[in-house]
Chain A
Amino acid sequence: MNLLRIELKKIVPYYTFWIILAVYAGLLVLVMMAASNISINGGQLGTQVYQFPKLWQLLTYIASFFNLLLGILVIVLVTDEYSYRTLRQQVIDGMSRLELVLAKFYVILGIGAVTTLFLLLVGLYFGFRYSTDTGTDAILGQIDHLSYFFLQAVGYMTLAMLCGFLVKRSGMSIIVFILYAQVLEPILQFSLSDVIDQYLPIKVFKSLTPMPGQELLDQMTTPTELLTPAWATLPALCYIGLFLLLAYYSLKLRDL
């Protein structure tokens, strides 16, 4: 049984899936274009910031704001299976609960790979258009930001998947997901000391794509403790594993 092939059979003819992905792609390109056209001191902002290799960090930082949309997409795919009762039917027909979770995780990896590839293309387009240095070294110099972005997108989507499996209904799951990511954890971060809160899941994911110029900002204000992308990798992987495990147990311990 090929889990990814089964998922593709469900997803490819599904309009909602493509619409959400198109909105994601459209918004990202729109923001990039808008930012490039802002003129400062008579010069286009694009020519200043879309320079290889710094461009990759900016690009992944901007893209990180749209991860919520990818999360919503995953929630839709998971909760659909509850509302159509197909999760139940798949278990009756022979899938194990572990396979149900793995199948969705493969979809998450797929979406992560496609969006990362899309980011690469967008980055190359804007880079070649505005960058003064288009040598190989400049282009590939900081391209590892893309792999951090991939990990971050997978992290957000795995959290979204867990919300979907736990809550079962799409609207409620989306509210829980956004409430945690945007409200609950920021409050937690506020009440905890930086030493601890840098290991909270959303903060870990966010530190994978740090804001360009954060170092400058830190010099002017009190520095916020933030893991570097390299240091955030291991905790991010642990959270992804934890979310998968929780999703599996939520299926194992409850009736379908």
Chain B
Amino acid sequence: MTKKYGSLLALNQLSVQVQQGSIYGLLGPNGSGKTTTLGMALDVIKPTSGSFSWFGQPVSRSTKRRIGALLETPNFYPYLTAQRNLEVAAEIKGAPPSQISRVLHLVGLEQRKNSAFKGFSLGMKQRLALASAMLNDPEVLVLDEPTNGLDPEGIAEVREIILRIAAEGKTIILASHLLDEVEKVCTHVAVLQRGVLKAEGPVGAILSAKDSIVISAANQQKALDVLAQLPFIASYHPEKENIVLTLQDGFNSADVNQAMFAAGIVLTQLVVRRKSLEAQFLEIIKQPS
């Protein structure tokens, strides 16, 4: 899909597919096209070109009833109570009114169901929006920045609700500019920057790039010879008097130390260099597309 606002290219030929049961993160800085993408998929923003489908069908009332979504902000009538707001939403979604108390319980708002929406804190508003999205017991949940603007306690509450919903086996599509949120919650991720897809795949493959290990030994050449023989070394290169190496899955710095000692080399330095998420992210979005 492509979306232009006048001359501004908000989204450039994005093409992704979300598998059933996955928790799919749309990751990118503010203004990278996340909300535009979700808005188009939710039928409120017109794509300039391209198309999308839900469950293999074009968007329709019946596909919408299998989706629960909140876009940007919690959208409710400020003068209506939580209960009344959910009654309106339930009527539109064709959900039985009996669901209202269930979803209020799910987000912990049953005590405040008779309070007007305008008196709610941001966290409560966000939770009510989650409750509304859950009214029709949807197969897919679409959440746009669900923790944006919340205090730490609110963030923790909302994340816990999301994980609880995910545990029920629902597919969740989550837009966020918070790396650590995507890493903690999602199984798959697409990284967007200025409307361009920079990377896509399982979170493990995209975000948790392998830690590197830095070693040094008195005889660097001999150490390099040994490394070439070791099966669990993924890559290595000398860096001044040090050697930087990465390992295959399932091995750690202890294995390196042991192998070196067995080969008669005593390491003078052994350091695990952890790559920060932020550094990885910057690396991803710097890649030329």
Q: CB within 8 Å of B: which residues of A?
A: 1-2, 5-6, 9-10, 13-15, 80, 84-86, 88-96, 253-256
Contacts and interface: CB of A to CB of B under 8 A. Distances in A.
B179 interface: no
A2 B76 contact: no
A10 to B, nearest CB: 6
Given A13-B80, A91-B44, A94-B93, A6 B75 contact: no
B89 A14 contact: no
Contacts of A253: 46
B77 A84 contact: yes
Contact of A88 (B75, B79, B84, B91): B75
Given A6-B88, A14-B79, A86-B75, A91 B93 contact: no
Interface of B: 39, 42-46, 61, 64-65, 69, 71-73, 75-80, 84, 87-89, 91-94
A93 B63 CA distance: 10
A93 to B, nearest CB: 5
Nearest to A2: B91
16 contacts: A1-B91, A1-B92, A2-B91, A5-B91, A10-B80, A13-B84, A15-B79, A84-B76, A89-B71, A89-B76, A91-B44, A92-B42, A92-B64, A94-B92, A94-B94, A96-B61
Nearest to B61: A94
Nearest to A97: B43
Contacts of B64: 92-94
Nearest to B46: A255
Of B45, B64, B78, B92, chain A has the most CB atoms within 10 Å of the CB of: B92
Given A84-B75, A85-B73, A92-B71, 7 more contacts: A14-B79, A84-B77, A92-B42, A92-B43, A93-B64, A93-B89, A254-B46
A75 B113 CA distance: 29
A9 B76 contact: no
B45 A9 contact: no
A81 to B, nearest CB: 9
Given A2-B91, A88-B71, A255 B39 contact: yes
Sorted from nearest, which 4 A-B pairs have the closest CB atoms?
Answer: A89-B75, A94-B64, A85-B75, A256-B44
Of A2, A13, A93, A255, chain B has the most CB atoms within 10 Å of the CB of: A93
Contacts of B77: 10, 14, 80, 84, 86
Contacts of B92: 1, 6, 90, 93-95
Nearest to A255: B45
B214 to A, nearest CB: 51
Nearest to A14: B79
Contacts of A2: 91
A66 B64 CA distance: 41
Nearest to A7: B88
Given A91-B44, A94-B65, A10 B88 contact: yes
A94 to B, nearest CB: 4
A86 B71 CA distance: 11
A90 B77 CA distance: 12
Contact of B76 (A86, A92, A255, A256): A86
Contacts of B87: 9
Contacts of B93: 93-94
A59 to B, nearest CB: 34
Of B46, B77, B84, B87, chain A has the most CB atoms within 10 Å of the CB of: B77
Contact of A1 (B78, B84, B94): B94
A93 B94 CA distance: 9
B145 to A, nearest CB: 14
Nearest to A5: B91
Given A86-B75, A89-B75, A9 B61 contact: no
